[in-house]
A and B are shown apart, each in its own frame.
Chain A
Amino acid sequence: MTELRTPPVDQDGFPAEAASEQSRPAPATAHGAGDWLRWAWRQLTSMRIALILLFLLALGSIPGSMLPQEGVDPGGVAQYYKSHPSLAPFLNHLGLFNVFAAPWFAAIYLLLFTSLVGCVVPRTFRLAGSARARPPRAPRHLNKLPQSAEYSTALAPEPALEVASRVLAGHGFRLRQEGDWISSEKGYLREAGNLLFHLALLGVLISVALGGLFGYKADRLLVEKGTFANTTSDLDVFRPGRLVTGTGLPPFTITLDKFNASYISSGPQQGQPAAFDAHVTYTAHPGGPSRTFDIQVNHPLNIDGANVYLIGHGYAPVFRVTDARGHVVYDQATAFLNGSAANLLSQGVIKATDAQPEQLGFSGVFVPTAIDVSGTLASIFPAPDRPMVSLIAYVGDLGMNSGISQSIYQLDTTRMHQLTASPQLLQPGQTLHLPGGRGSITFVGVQQWASLAITHDPGQVPALICGMAALAGLLLSFLVRRRRVFVRVRGSVVQVGGLARTDASGGFEAEFASLAAELKSAHQRESSQQDTETE
């Protein structure tokens, strides 16, 4: 009982302050807050949870490839809404049309990132400590080690240890000598490799973050003979990284001189693409020299750290629209988009926004090689062998004057009325005269367009380097064995013992045997030299 009454004594032997003892929270609440946090952190940084998160990440990206995504295929999303009117809003609520920007997806990869960092950083410190560590003390009984040898020498213990340390140092062992023993260790490269692997893994994570923060992605559709400048106002889609403002983009310009697509013209693969070439002229900065390049699929153009990929192509029929007052109000190639229809049958719209007295709009279908299948237009080949357009004309308000942006590929006909009862077919050079003297539209000819994706990922090269470093580190840690050799001299007896620290220690027996033999012969040589000197 008296013992219980003695004041609590802390580590240094001083009586602890009573007040601090009182203010210390009760054990139950301590378990509630700090320990729970610590427990959660340990769970999060465990290998098991990291693997589960990695699996979830893979699982979560499945809908990203199964369902159309807003960023990549907005038309596909609209199509999905049409065909699944009840399911689509529900999926949208779950963020499944923009998976990679969904909060739950971000939650998974942020947790994974934290988990990996929390796992790798402490390990890195441990490995760094282990790579610098001194060899341990020699065990008392060297003959109990997996490998051991014993012989006698005429040398005194001091010079015998000196000879042994010279031999071991010559083999690259790290030495520690105390009293009558030498402890030596070799194979620290294994720990260095392990350390390299972990640091490189962190490097990969940082590289990915670099790409996400400082990279950007952009798309631009370019009709033949057209030019664009790499500035945010001239890009169709611009997706900047977190820290990209869009003002510092490399100021290059690209002109699409010619787009070539060739298709297989016979056999079972008829109509399949054989090759795409986007012949471009570019300047890296205003006033710089012009260069030419042939962008192909998987053969991007690299300008100033940005890669320009060819990601799509299609037709841009050229139309000329004249209004009721005889003014030409529209004369340009108009990009038509190919949805999922066969043989590049494409759709598009023409908006004559300044036709007088009323705006004119046309929705059209372009067919590169047209045939009539019982009244409907179909395409039998993707090349423009028999091009034809089918147009429906509208008059009224296009809904563009209120300042609200709208898609250039869609016509809002809510405040327009249809001028032609049925779609009108035109071949190149033909003109459709609108009823009531409202003007005319001429199908002038066909050009092609190419869609370019501009990507800049500053993390790409660091990620590659870190990936290679991680592989090199992993190889080192697999191939290099850590092994220890001990020498103890007691009187005239030399004991040598050795062990390899890793299971995969095949080959260590041979190494130990030759080392022991070398030690023995070195001792013999030294003692015989001493003999000759004394004689």
Chain B
Amino acid sequence: MSKVPKRNRRVVYLAATACVGVLAVVLLVTGFGGGGGNGVTYVDGNSNAVLYGAGHRAAAPDFSGTTLSGTPLRFSAYRGKVVVVNFWGSWCPPCRSEASTLAVVAQQYQSVSFLGVDVRDTVVSAEAFDRTHGISYPSVSDPDDTITLDFSSVVPIASTPTTVVIDKTGHIAGAVFGQTTYPELTAILSDVTRTSA
């Protein structure tokens, strides 16, 4: 092993430093990429269920559509009420699993409106689903995922199901990403109905 000339050694150190620098930048970017903050509180110690603090609530997009029974629906008609918007499909196993929870919570919170957005589905399958699970609140058909697209610009909807809670002023106050559980949904609702009362 010969002695490395001084000049070369400096170059080696320089290159090594450059590499470490690049690595540090990459780690920094990745580290802060998924950072929390922004007035978000996690409900039930679970990052799938979140509450957005006052001043951190994005306005829910307005949309219109046709319900499974064929009547036209405009979302702006819900203004002034707390609304639970559930994105679901009859084809999606977690949606089938959470359906009974949603039915129970809808019964319990009579002051809260529930609205389904039925994605990538057909009307006959969706109606059969509602019959099976005893869902009585309406759903809008969204076979093309256009309503989902409108929402995903303000809520990070990654997959179906996703449940979004909208406060009386039409702002998104909370969300459950993935299958909803009773404690998660009721925790969000009790906060939103209390603060917006």
Which positions in A face B, CB cutoff 8 Å? 31, 35, 38-39, 41-42, 45, 114, 117-118, 121-122, 125-126, 213, 226-234, 242-243, 245-247, 251, 253, 255, 286, 323, 327-332, 351-356, 400-406, 408
- Kindly state whether residue B55 has any CB partner on chain A within 8 Å: no
**Which residue from chain B places its CB closest to the CB of A243 in the assembled complex?**
B33
Size class of the contact patch on chain B: 35 or more
Given known contacts A245-B34, A332-B122, A354 and B145 CB-to-CB distance under 8 angstroms: no
A226 to chain B, nearest CB (A): 8
- Kindly state whether residue B153 has any CB partner on chain A within 8 Å: yes
In the bound complex, do residue A331 and residue B157 qualify as a contact, i.e. CB atoms below 8 Å apart? no
In the bound complex, do residue A354 and residue B132 qualify as a contact, i.e. CB atoms below 8 Å apart? yes
- Kindly state whether residue B81 has any CB partner on chain A within 8 Å: no
In the bound complex, do residue B1 and residue A35 qualify as a contact, i.e. CB atoms below 8 Å apart? yes
In the bound complex, do residue A330 and residue B125 qualify as a contact, i.e. CB atoms below 8 Å apart? yes
In the bound complex, do residue A242 and residue B30 qualify as a contact, i.e. CB atoms below 8 Å apart? yes
B156-167: CB near A (< 8 Å → 1, else 0) gives 111110100000
Residues of B within 8 A of A400 (CB): 93, 96
How many angstroms between the C-alpha atoms of A353 and B34 in the bound complex?
37
In the bound complex, do residue A329 and residue B98 qualify as a contact, i.e. CB atoms below 8 Å apart? no
In the bound complex, do residue B33 and residue A245 qualify as a contact, i.e. CB atoms below 8 Å apart? yes
In the bound complex, do residue A356 and residue B132 qualify as a contact, i.e. CB atoms below 8 Å apart? yes
Residues of B within 8 A of A35 (CB): 1
Residues of B within 8 A of A234 (CB): 119-120, 145, 148-149
**Cross-chain contact of A353 among B30, B96, B162 (Cβ < 8 A):** B96
9 closest residue pairs by CB, A with B: A403-B97, A354-B128, A227-B144, A122-B11, A234-B145, A229-B149, A229-B145, A329-B128, A354-B132
Query: Which applies to chain B's interface (DSSP): helix, strand, loop or mixed?
Result: helix
**Cross-chain contact of B94 among A39, A122, A353, A405 (Cβ < 8 A):** A405
In the bound complex, do residue A229 and residue B146 qualify as a contact, i.e. CB atoms below 8 Å apart? yes
List B residues 1-36 near A (Cβ within 8 Å).
1, 4, 8-9, 11-12, 14-16, 18-19, 22, 26, 29-30, 33-34
Interface contacts beyond A31-B1, A227-B144, A402-B93: sample of 7 additional A-B pairs, CB < 8 Å, sorted by A: A213-B26, A231-B149, A232-B152, A232-B157, A234-B119, A286-B146, A330-B122
**Cross-chain contact of B128 among A121, A213, A228, A355 (Cβ < 8 A):** A355
- Kindly state whether residue B143 has any CB partner on chain A within 8 Å: yes
In the bound complex, do residue B19 and residue A38 qualify as a contact, i.e. CB atoms below 8 Å apart? no
Residues of A within 8 A of B87 (CB): 233
A328 to chain B, nearest CB (A): 5
**Which residue from chain B places its CB closest to the CB of A252 in the assembled complex?**
B149
21 pairs, A vs B, C-beta closer than 8 Å: A42-B4, A121-B14, A125-B14, A226-B144, A229-B146, A231-B148, A233-B87, A233-B152, A245-B33, A245-B34, A327-B128, A328-B124, A353-B90, A353-B128, A354-B129, A402-B93, A403-B93, A404-B93, A405-B93, A405-B94, A408-B91
Residues of A within 8 A of B159 (CB): 232-233
Which positions in B face A, CB cutoff 8 Å? 1, 4, 8-9, 11-12, 14-16, 18-19, 22, 26, 29-30, 33-34, 87, 90-94, 96-98, 119-120, 122, 124-125, 128-129, 131-132, 143-146, 148-150, 152-153, 156-160, 162, 179
Residues of B within 8 A of A355 (CB): 128
In the bound complex, do residue A39 and residue B1 qualify as a contact, i.e. CB atoms below 8 Å apart? yes
Residues of A within 8 A of B158 (CB): 232-233, 246
How many angstroms between the C-alpha atoms of A290 and B131 in the bound complex?
37
Residues of B within 8 A of A41 (CB): 12, 16
B174 to chain A, nearest CB (A): 17
Residues of B within 8 A of A114 (CB): 19
How many angstroms between the C-alpha atoms of A125 and B148 in the bound complex?
52
In the bound complex, do residue B125 and residue A229 qualify as a contact, i.e. CB atoms below 8 Å apart? no
**Which residue from chain A places its CB closest to the CB of B178 in the assembled complex?**
A403
How many angstroms between the C-alpha atoms of A315 and B148 in the bound complex?
27
Given known contacts A286-B146, A286-B150, A353-B90, A401 and B97 CB-to-CB distance under 8 angstroms: yes
In the bound complex, do residue A327 and residue B144 qualify as a contact, i.e. CB atoms below 8 Å apart? no
In the bound complex, do residue B129 and residue A353 qualify as a contact, i.e. CB atoms below 8 Å apart? yes
In the bound complex, do residue A353 and residue B125 qualify as a contact, i.e. CB atoms below 8 Å apart? yes
B123 to chain A, nearest CB (A): 8
Residues of B within 8 A of A251 (CB): 149, 152-153
In the bound complex, do residue B162 and residue A117 qualify as a contact, i.e. CB atoms below 8 Å apart? no
A152 to chain B, nearest CB (A): 44
In the bound complex, do residue A231 and residue B179 qualify as a contact, i.e. CB atoms below 8 Å apart? no
Given known contacts A402-B93, A403-B96, A122 and B12 CB-to-CB distance under 8 angstroms: yes
